[in-house]
Amino acid sequence: MKNNGGRLVIIILSLMCIIYLCALRFSYEKSDKSLMSKDTKPYVAVITKSTQSAYWKTTFAGAKAAGAEYNLELSFQGPEREEDFKTQNEMIHEAVEKGAKVIVFSAVDYHDNAEAINRAIDKDAKVVVIDSDVESEKVSCRISTDNYKAGQMVADALLKGEDKKLKVGIVNFDVNTENGQKREQGFRDSVAMANNVEIVSSINVNSTIDDAKEGTIAMLEENPQINAIVTFNEWTSLGVGYAIRELKLKDKAKVVAFDSNIISVGMLETGEVDALIVQNPYAMGYLGVEYAAKLINGDKIEKDTIDTTTTLITRENMFTPDNQKVLFSFE
Amino acid sequence: MRINRKNRLSLSKLVTAIVAITVFFSTAICVFFSLMYYKNAVEQNAITNSMQAVGQVSSMLTSYTKDMNDIMNAIRSTVEKEDKKLQYEYFTEMTQMRRDLETIMVYGEDGELLDYWAKGRVLKDKMSTNLSYEALPKKEGIHISAPHVQNMFLNDYLWVVTISEQIKTKSGEWHQICMDIHFANIASYVDGVGIGAHGYCFIMDDAGNIVYHPQQQLLYAKLKKERTDEIGKYSDGTHIADGVIYTVLTLDNCNWKIIGVSYVDEVVTSKVSNMAYIVLFIIGIVVFATTVAGMFFSRLLSKPAQELTEAMQKFEKEGEAFSFYPIDGTYEITSLSDSFGHMVVRIQELMEKVRQEEVTLRKTELNALQAQINPHFLYNTLDSISWMCEEGRTEEAVEMVNALARLFRISISKGHEMIKIERELQHAEAYLRIQKFRYKNKFTYSFRVDEKCRDYLCNKISLQPLIENAIYHGLDMSDDGEITIEVYEEQGNIVMAVIDDGVGMTEEECKRILNTDVDSPSGIGLKNVNDRVKIYFGPNYGLVIKSELDEGTRVEIHMPKVMEDNYEK
């Protein structure tokens, strides 16, 4: 009597259990989704080195696209000067106070931003680093240009088709910013293998057009033998370009600069700049926020380091259909 | 009858299981088919939505391109008039008026820029290539370029499409008029149209270039890929590939195609699976509810049924001693229970009746047996008496006749079965006396009687067969024997014993004597005595035989203490 009936009852009960589990999972998913779609959108703070350059505007555009796609509330902040890590640290603190689930962060200072970031992570915020790294083990994910390789690309672009002796001046930005240093390192390691390159001078300037321009002019006046200049971000590129324009050196000096800006593209066309290494800020912004959404949803992140593309643009190839897409942001 | 019962299902579980399974499968089948139907409907709906979205974009774009055509015609007719002043004023005005009309250009036969109107912007000094010019064959007809950057002006790089046409001037030269159109308007048409949560429309030209895509920047940043090569080959209509629904529609008046993209996952699968989850949830509840309800109802039915079954089994085992308590439950159950109760009572009455009848029958039989006088015994006794008379032993003959008379008087006893032990002892003595005469004092006998026992009742003619047995079978007639009759009380019962010192018996013989109906000279055997005692007093009473070979035999009658006044016949 008991045996068969008991088994049957068990079968029926287990069947119902399975169904219930399905139902529970479903309701769980549903509640999860409804949580996402209601006005309590998860808050993600995007804190960058600056907010003014075309580079960062494109980054924000990418971040916004991902924010719309994943239904996140975003804020965009950055200090006025690209050396101001203190303001950045305050922004991190504020974002955590405001309940940011994830901070998408680009560090001004590899060392001095670390403590603030670690503190934020200790308070259960997650951090996705874009563009420029910070000295923290606890960062969930890093999305940036392979800066060392980008530095090598600068070297390649400089050396391409050049037989004459190159006397190079380097104009870099804040010595504490990780990505600038990596780029310079990549460049230096790469040109060290070429026998026609001599690095005559290397300066670090504040990341503004004016500072870079003045710095470059001073460097060129001090070392008139310089016939090549490399520089590693948008503002310093413009500064160098303006300096070359002012000194009318565009035919003498070969300039390899970084990032695209309508003005630097114009300089590429007019000759002050000879090559641009263009990063993919839109992808950085988009992927940064996309990974933030993944972290919020608890999805697994396959890779903790993602390299975005870099493209070498020269006067000759700047208007190919593909490079148009790289250089000129849409709208 | 009882085999396999252990393996059978009880009613309640069976009912519950059947109900639950039936409900489960029938709802499951219903759900399956309705889900299929639902899926179909959702798919159709998705396709219709996609079609509608694409149609909407198409009609807006058609009117837009028509607009552009009109502008082109206006430009052409103005150019054809070759009135420089009119041309200048008209084009300046036109570029000012239309926000999306960035530039109007007129090129000469060899591609040299003859004139341009560009909202007041001035050409660069040095232009590497002019992306807005594309040499066209010298014939009429509009050409629309792939999207490109306008690079004619200083620090101004806008994404545009160029619409160009060759016209023949009066002087017979071919001039190419071009206008660069900014995306703003097209974008506003396309961006606003969504299909599902993430679906969208985009525009492609017949060469497979994307003209406008709402996620253009994602495509440019290489974060997203559109499978333009394959989509370019699609004809108008709906195509489903890799979980994406593509709806293609070609514009009437230009080489653009509108592609609607929506995701099967999102517009079909998720809806269907949501539905499936809801339905499964409901099935779960229904099956659960029916199981619980089934359990409850079957309990209601089967628990009393089970009690009834148990009562029946118990009745089967216990019979007369069983007493039935009515079982509570539904109407059917109570009426079953009532009927069973009646039946139990009736069966027990019948059983009692049968028993009574049996007893009466046996008593009657025995009475008849007792009434019989063994003619052989009578004949022998009378023979002995006559022989005594002949020899002149009158005194002995008288005594013999008296004994015989007492024997018969007690035997008859007015037909009563039970007589006082006193009387039974007199009967035994009369018999012993007769036998002693007949066997010429070959044995002696004695009585040891507890006086308190004399008034209790015993079965009539119960000692005599025992004595007869002792004389005929127990005593060794070649030697003098001794027969002792004892009556005493033991553990609240009366024991009457007949003891001889004869040959004795083996244990097997003792048992056989009680089980076989031996024809004794008096007509009443030991078995008969045993049976009668058991019938009158119950199975705990009766004969006990103790015997040892060459030592003698002791036959005891055990019976309860019964007085005349509390014995009912």
ipTM of the complex: 0.78
**Cβ atoms B164, B140 nearer than 8 A:** no
Confidence band for A26, pLDDT divided at 50, 70 and 90: low
Residues in A closer than 8 angstroms to B126, CB to CB, are 269-270
pLDDT at A331: 63
**DSSP secondary structure string for all residues of B108-126:** -TTS-EEEEE-TT--B-S-
Smallest Cα distance from A35 to chain B, Å = 16
Q: Is the pLDDT of residue B4 over 60?
A: no
Q: Does A28 touch chain B (CB under 8 A)?
A: no
Q: Worst-scoring range by mean pLDDT, A138-142, A239-243, B12-16?
A: B12-16
Give Cα B363 to chain centroid, integer Å.
59
CA–CA dist B168, B175 (Å, integer): 6
pLDDT tens-digit series, residues B439-465: 888 888 999 999 888 889 888 888 888
CA–CA dist B22, B18 (Å, integer): 6
Backbone angles phi, psi at A87, to 5 degrees: -60, -40
Q: Does A17 touch chain B (CB under 8 A)?
A: no
Region A147-279+316-322: CATH code? 3.40.50.2300
List the 211-250 stretch of B: residues with Cβ below 8 A of A.
215-223
More confident residue, B217 or A227: A227
Rg (CA), chain B: 65
Smallest Cα distance from A222 to chain B, Å = 31
Architecture of domain B187-268: 3-Layer(aba) Sandwich (3.40)
More confident residue, A38 or A242: A242
Architecture of domain A43-145+281-308: 3-Layer(aba) Sandwich (3.40)
Topology of domain B372-566, per CATH? Heat Shock Protein 90 (3.30.565)
pLDDT tens-digit series, residues B59-92: 888 888 888 888 888 888 888 877 788 888 888 8
pLDDT at B517: 62
Confidence band for A28, pLDDT divided at 50, 70 and 90: low
CA–CA dist A172, A54 (Å, integer): 18
Average pLDDT over residues B193-214: 84
pLDDT at A89: 93
Going through chain A in order, the beta strands assigned E by DSSP cover 43-47, 73-77, 102-105, 126-130, 141-145, 166-172, 197-204, 228-231, 254-258, 275-278, 305-308, 311-314
pLDDT tens-digit series, residues B257-276: 899 988 887 777 877 888 88
Q: Is the pLDDT of residue B466 over 60?
A: yes
List the 137-196 stretch of B: residues with Cβ below 8 A of A.
146, 148-149, 151, 154-157, 159, 183, 187
Domain A43-145+281-308 and domain A147-279+316-322, same fold? Reply is yes
Q: Is the pLDDT of residue B2 over 50?
A: no
Average pLDDT over residues A313-330: 86
Candidates A262, A283, A327; nearest CB to B155 = A262
Q: Is the pLDDT of residue A188 over 70?
A: yes
pLDDT tens-digit series, residues B331-367: 878 888 888 888 888 988 998 899 888 888 777 676 6
CB under 8 Å to B496, separation ≥6 — which residues?
B421, B424, B458, B462, B463, B485, B486, B487, B556, B557, B559
pLDDT at B569: 46
pLDDT at B370: 61
Domain regions of chain A by residue span: 43-145+281-308, 147-279+316-322
Asked if B287 lies within 8 A of A262 by C-beta distance, the reply is no
Asked if B157 lies within 8 A of A331 by C-beta distance, the reply is no
pLDDT at A153: 93
Q: Is the pLDDT of residue B524 over 80?
A: no
Candidates A5, A262, A282; nearest CB to B217 = A282
CA–CA dist A54, A45 (Å, integer): 20
pLDDT tens-digit series, residues A67-119: 988 889 999 999 988 888 999 999 999 999 998 999 999 999 999 999 999 99
The per-residue pLDDT of chain B, averaged, comes to 83
Q: Worst-scoring range by mean pLDDT, A271-275, B107-111, B556-560?
A: B107-111
Average pLDDT over residues B242-247: 86
Confidence band for A33, pLDDT divided at 50, 70 and 90: very low
Residues in B closer than 8 angstroms to A30, CB to CB, are 274
Nearest to B528 by CA among B538, B543, B550, B541: B543
Q: Is the pLDDT of residue A299 over 70?
A: yes
CB under 8 Å to A172, separation ≥6 — which residues?
A180, A181, A183, A184, A202, A203, A204, A205, A231, A232, A236
Question: Between A and B, how many residue pairs show a Cβ–Cβ distance under 8 A?
Answer: 121
pLDDT at A32: 46
Confidence band for B1, pLDDT divided at 50, 70 and 90: very low
Confidence band for B32, pLDDT divided at 50, 70 and 90: confident
pLDDT tens-digit series, residues A207-244: 899 999 999 999 999 999 999 999 998 999 999 999 99
CA–CA dist B319, B312 (Å, integer): 10
CA–CA dist A149, A186 (Å, integer): 6
Smallest Cα distance from A310 to chain B, Å = 10
Smallest Cα distance from A4 to chain B, Å = 7
Q: Does B128 touch chain A (CB under 8 A)?
A: yes
CA–CA dist B171, B97 (Å, integer): 31
CA–CA dist A228, A205 (Å, integer): 18
Q: Is the pLDDT of residue A169 over 90?
A: yes
Rg (CA), chain A: 25
Pairing of strands B493-500, B481-490: antiparallel
Asked if B155 lies within 8 A of A266 by C-beta distance, the reply is yes
Average pLDDT over residues B398-405: 88
pLDDT tens-digit series, residues B151-176: 888 878 888 888 888 888 877 888 88
